[in-house]
Structures are given as structure tokens and as C-alpha cells.
């Protein structure tokens, strides 16, 4: 399985509950994470950070990487 490494660039533009949930999972600006799986048609993205896998919306992923 090929995983691609990313770093969280920003939380700007995400709603407060999403930001709070990501923070509670240990994700902060500058945190590294790996994209494990991209589902087709801009479906969810499975990411791995701190030995845990999390499914997030594509739009949230795109925001986190600064897109």
C-alpha cells in the first residue's frame, strides 16, 4: 500500500465542531499525517496520524493541506 505524507497547513474555513474533533484526535497545524486511501468521486479520504486511521471528507482534507 502506498501512502503519501502531508502536513496540516490550516484549519481556516472548517466549522468549529470539525476543528474541535480534529484537535481532540491530536491533529494540529504542522502535524504530519499520511493519506492511506482516496475514494473515487471526491469521496472520503482515509488518513493515518499517530497510529490511528480516520475517515474525513474530501473537502476537509483539501482544506487541511492548504488547498
- Domain containing 43 equals 4-64
Number of folded domains that form the chain: 1
How many angstroms from the chain centroid is the CA of residue 57? 8
Specify the CATH number for the domain of residue 15: 2.30.30.90
The 10s digit of each residue's pLDDT in 36-67 is: 999 999 999 999 999 999 999 999 999 999 98
Classify the phi-psi angles of 41: left when phi > 0, otherwise alpha if psi is within -120 to 50, otherwise beta: left
Report the C-alpha gap between 29 and 41 in whole angstroms.
Answer: 27
Identify the helix (H) or strand (E) that includes residue 32: strand 32-38
Average pLDDT, the chain: 95
Amino acid at each position: 500500500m502506498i501512502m503519501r505524507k502531508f502536513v496540516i497547513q490550516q484549519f481556516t474555513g472548517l466549522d468549529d465542531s470539525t476543528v474541535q474533533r480534529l484537535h481532540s484526535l491530536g491533529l494540529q497545524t504542522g502535524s504530519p499525517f499520511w493519506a492511506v486511501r482516496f475514494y473515487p468521486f471526491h469521496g472520503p479520504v482515509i488518513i493515518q496520524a499517530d497510529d490511528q486511521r480516520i475517515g474525513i471528507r474530501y473537502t476537509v482534507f483539501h482544506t487541511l493541506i492548504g488547498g
